[in-house]
Amino acid sequence: MKEIRPDHYKQTSLECFSVMKLFLGKRGFVAFCMGNVFKYLWRHEAKNGQEDVDKAGTYLMQLNDMKKHGELAKSDERKLESLMELYRKESEKYAQS
């Protein structure tokens, strides 16, 4: 999985994802990340191609990290697996070119 983290997110000592998690709470942050994964995988063929798939990967990495630390509800783990499967499928389209 490729992570995209542009320099404009690294200009302070605070990590944007960490601050969002505090602001939104864990449930809100999970919903935010899953929504972004879905959005980027939905539009990639019509908009930014591989870049959008990579952006989805960035959010999936956040969710996988939460899963590793036991921060995801079981229902969210199942959703994450579905999103991971979709991500792998869509990533293959670019690996073959």
**Which residue type is seen at 10?**
K
pLDDT at 2 > cutoff 80: no
Q: What is the pTM of this model?
A: 0.86
Banded model confidence at residue 5, pLDDT cuts 50, 70, 90: low
pLDDT digits (tens, 9 = 90+) for 52-80: 999 999 999 999 999 999 999 999 999 99
Distance CA 28, CA 43 (A): 23
pLDDT digits (tens, 9 = 90+) for 13-43: 788 899 999 999 999 999 999 999 999 999 9
pLDDT at 45 > cutoff 90: yes
Residue 97: CB partners within 8 Å, gap ≥ 6?
none
Q: How far apart are the first and last CA of the chain?
A: 17
